[in-house]
């Protein structure tokens, strides 16, 4: 099975978003990864629903929406209305509200994903591993693009893959941050299913070829 590729729009040219989305539509990308930041859970702010609405009108790929916000539950219904395939929420932000948030995401017709930051133990996911369709592992600290890959992520992917097997879960593993030529093959070998890649794709001379090269990695 080939790796799932989800280009991160955070690394696109915001002055020419339509051009970059047209490129994604023509490419072999499986999803489009959209990072939503509130300036509180992370210090940056990205884009809001006016931009998301415009993107949804021209995008042919499923939307993989990642909320780096303190209260992602406030946006569940609006995210579903966009036609998003999945909604990723940070375990660190949700706390004891997480079971209800997962339920509400499913009720809204989307797949649910939990996201863990680099300092959060993989074991924190265990109580939810059979309730979600995906676990997003951050391989950089959330909130900024273009960071260096954290090498400890490889071991975290191995541990998460073992947990998924032990629990009989069908959850996919997605990785976001510093995914490129040197890291992607090792991530897939460790058990990663889906690769979120930003700068490596959007800053390339031929982004479509880069996407194709990532998709050739086999699980």
Residue ranges covered by each domain of the chain: 4-216
Catalytic position from the list 35, 38, 64, 193:
35
Task: Write down the pLDDT at residue 102.
Answer: 99
70-85 pLDDT per residue, tens? 999 999 999 999 999 9
C-alpha 191/C-alpha 199 separation (Å) is: 23
Give this prediction's pTM: 0.95
CB 129 within 8 A of CB 171: yes
Average pLDDT, the chain: 95
Active site residue 13: no
Whether 145 has a pLDDT exceeding 80, the answer reads: no
C-alpha 90/C-alpha 137 separation (Å) is: 10
Whether 101 has a pLDDT exceeding 80, the answer reads: yes
Task: Write down the pLDDT at residue 52.
Answer: 94
Catalytic position from the list 30, 38, 64, 176:
176
3-state secondary structure of 137: strand
110-133 pLDDT per residue, tens? 999 999 999 999 999 999 999 999
According to CATH, the superfamily of the domain at 4-216 is Aldolase class I (3.20.20.70)
Residue 163 confidence class, pLDDT cut points 50, 70, 90: very high
CA triplet 96, 140, 45: central angle to 5 degrees? 70
Active site residue 35: yes
Task: Write down the pLDDT at residue 1.
Answer: 81
C-alpha 180/C-alpha 214 separation (Å) is: 8
> Scanning the structure block, which residue is given the tokens 């859970």?
41
Torsion sign over Cα 93, 187, 194, 34: positive
């Amino acid at each position: 099975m080939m790796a799932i590729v989800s280009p991160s729009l955070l690394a696109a040219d915001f002055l020419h978003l339509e051009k970059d989305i047209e490129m994604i539509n023509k490419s072999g990308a499986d999803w489009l990864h959209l990072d939503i930041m509130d300036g509180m859970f992370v210090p940056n702010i990205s884009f809001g629903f006016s931009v998301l609405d415009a993107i949804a009108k021209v995008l042919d790929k499923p939307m993989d929406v990642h909320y780096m916000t303190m209260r992602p539950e406030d946006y569940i219904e609006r995210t579903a209305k966009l036609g998003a395939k999945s909604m990723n929420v940070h375990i660190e932000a949700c706390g004891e509200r997480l079971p209800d948030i997962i339920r509400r995401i499913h009720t809204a017709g989307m797949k649910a994903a939990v996201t863990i930051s680099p300092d959060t133990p993989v074991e924190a996911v265990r109580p939810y591993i059979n309730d979600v369709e995906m676990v997003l592992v951050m391989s950089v600290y959330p909130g900024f693009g273009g960071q260096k890959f954290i090498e400890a992520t490889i071991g975290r992917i191995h541990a998460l893959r073992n947990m998924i097997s032990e629990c009989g879960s069908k959850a996919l593993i997605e990785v976001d941050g510093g995914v490129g030529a040197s890291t992607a093959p090792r991530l897939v070998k460790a058990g990663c299913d889906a690769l979120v890649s930003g700068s490596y794709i959007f800053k390339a001379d031929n982004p479509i070829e880069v996407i194709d090269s990532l998709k050739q990695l086999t699980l």
